[in-house]
Amino acid sequence: MSFSSEAEAARLFDRLGITPGAGDLGSTSPIDGGLIGKVATASPADVAAAVGRAQAAFQHWRMVPAPRRGELVRRFGEALRAHKEPLGRLVTLECGKILSEGLGEVQEMIDICDFAVGLSRQLHGLTIATERRDHRMMETWHPLGPVGVISAFNFPVAVWAWNACLALVCGDTVVWKPSEKTPLCAAAVAAIFAGVAIEFEEAPEGLLELVQGGREAGEALADDPRVPLVSATGSTRMGRALAPRVAVRFGRTLLELGGNNAMIVAPSADLALAERAIAFAAVGTAGQRCTSLRRLIVHDDIYDHLVGRLKAIWPGLSIGNPFESGTLVGPLIDEDAVAAMQAALARAKGQGGAIQGGEPIGGCYVRPALAEMPAQSGVVIEETFAPILYILRYRTLDEAIALQNGVPQGLSSSIFTTDLREAETFLSAAGSDCGIANVNLGPSGAEIGGAFGGEKETGGGRESGSDSWRAYMRRATNVVNYGRDLPLAQGVDFDL
């Protein structure tokens, strides 16, 4: 292979103005296994110091008018536009997603910047009718404090940006613990942000603190009582360990954990459209999105036709270097992920699954797998972060919806149908139980304008668009008496 991840890294670091070198935490590219840089792991004492700086910065930042905070985020968005190409390439280099998706991830950051800028003039509360004469009742939203953001390898920059851009316009400061598998993407983003912040007079030092490392650094952040909110993206196992640690000190969490996303394909579906949606959602990002399609629930009448088509398409999917145009499936993040995929397929086979594909083909590369399953149990109800598509049959819509909802996770879902009744039933209270439910498109690839997150073991948090900003603020209820009397609520008499 003529490609060298080290050489590509050196070029990108130059363009991004970073010099990662000294440190104990190495980052390897899944493309060719090359060591592309090193950073230093933050000790618990380093995390505490970072939180201290973020807290000091918060004292100042919370008093900067929100639209001015928005101006900083606007400038950050401009800097991201200027760096889109090298940053997108670094995302591809470090996490292995195809270049179009690497660039798309930076676009997602730019989009959330724009959203946050508009939001910075719309952080609104309510005025509420009061029962007391000459009183006014309202609610005010105030900044919360330093927000801890723990992000995952698969969206090493965009999911951080959803959190950080909202937190910053809300008047919070940010302490970021990125995945230990993608420390260089984080270092590059922090450098771009620092370049913008230093030019912005109202921005104190400590607005964004980066703490690199693994579990220990994350735990230090979770345990620090000065961090009122920890927003964490990752596995359900991680969330289950983290959430009680934050809860025990009455901190808040915003959790975006595992998904086990399904698509129902009904007899009336536009199957040509469905095929493309299935392929992108199941093998895009090598099946490593939290929104990836993992379960396909197909009506009996079209099962043979549709599954036959998928069996024909899958072997032709181009797998390889994610920088090469034409590649659709890049490598998995590391060899552990390859082993986890193999273990899942072995279990699926043991459960009576008929498997096509899925073989490792060297390094971190695998063939995407199709697994026709006799039932939804065992490995099918777990999230395996790999391109395995489990396929199940159904006869009635009720049965299909029961299958869709019959897993512990509740992130994203979709149905392909041209039958209005079916579509609306799927979206109704008796339909999909997920945070995201789509009709005639796949479960992945959400836009930033909607609230993102899901129910059950997905953790219940909502990030990104809609009114997700409220999680990053605290609500105060205010009552003002502008009269000359002191009426008490509920008609209580208390005359001295």
Q: Is 173 in the site for ligand UN1 (CB under 6 A)?
A: no
Residue nearest to ligand UN1 (CB): 446
Token pair in block for residue 278: 């299935």
Closest CB to ligand UN1 among residues 55, 253? 253
Which span (152-160, 191-199, 311-319, 389-397) binds ligand UN1, by CB under 6 A? Answer: 152-160
Q: Is 154 in the site for ligand UN1 (CB under 6 A)?
A: yes
Question: Helix axis angle, 183-197 relative to 158-169, nearest 10°?
Answer: 30
- Residue 488's contacts (CB-CB under 8 Å, 6 or more residues apart) are 132, 494
Q: How many residues in the shown chain lie near ligand UN1 by CB under 6 A?
A: 11
Beta bridge partners of 233: 256
- Chosen residue from 177, 289, 456, 462 binding ligand UN1 by CB under 6 A: 289
* Distance in Å, CB of 69 to ligand UN1, minimum: 24
Is residue 256 part of the annotated active site? The answer reads: yes
Of the listed 105, 256, 383, 457, which one is catalytic? 256
- Chosen residue from 31, 90, 112, 159 binding ligand UN1 by CB under 6 A: 159
* Distance in Å, CB of 225 to ligand UN1, minimum: 28
Q: Is 261 in the site for ligand UN1 (CB under 6 A)?
A: no
Which span (125-133, 151-159, 186-194, 477-485) binds ligand UN1, by CB under 6 A? Answer: 151-159
Q: Which of residues 444-463 bind ligand UN1 (CB under 6 A)?
A: 444-446
* Distance in Å, CB of 444 to ligand UN1, minimum: 4
Q: Which of residues 3-62 bind ligand UN1 (CB under 6 A)?
A: none
Q: Which of 168, 146, 169, 150 is nearest to 160 (CA)?
A: 150
Measured CA distances, 349 to 182, 282, 390, 395 (Å): 33, 19, 11, 24
The alpha carbon torsion through 343, 258, 465, 155 (nearest 10 deg) reads -40
Residue matched to tokens 């659709």: 328
Q: Which of 144, 201, 174, 161 is nearest to 53 (CA)?
A: 174
Which span (154-162, 201-209, 370-378, 482-490) binds ligand UN1, by CB under 6 A? Answer: 154-162
Q: Which of 403, 393, 365 is nearest to 302 (CA)?
A: 393
Cβ atoms < 10 Å from Cβ of 190: 19
Closest CB to ligand UN1 among residues 155, 193? 155
Q: Is 404 in the site for ligand UN1 (CB under 6 A)?
A: no
- Chosen residue from 9, 189, 255, 290 binding ligand UN1 by CB under 6 A: 290
* Distance in Å, CB of 477 to ligand UN1, minimum: 34
The alpha carbon torsion through 135, 137, 141, 143 (nearest 10 deg) reads 40
* Distance in Å, CB of 452 to ligand UN1, minimum: 7
- Chosen residue from 163, 179, 182, 233 binding ligand UN1 by CB under 6 A: 233
* Distance in Å, CB of 443 to ligand UN1, minimum: 8
- The number of CA neighbours under 13 Å toward the Cβ of 279 is 18
Amino acid at 45: A
H/E run at residue 260: none
Q: Is 291 in the site for ligand UN1 (CB under 6 A)?
A: yes
- Chosen residue from 13, 153, 155, 176 binding ligand UN1 by CB under 6 A: 155
Dmax over CA atoms of the chain, in Å, equals 89
Question: Helix axis angle, 158-169 relative to 66-82, nearest 10°?
Answer: 150
Q: Which residues bind ligand UN1 (CB under 6 A)?
A: 152, 154-155, 159, 233, 289-291, 444-446
Mind telling me the catalytic residues? 256
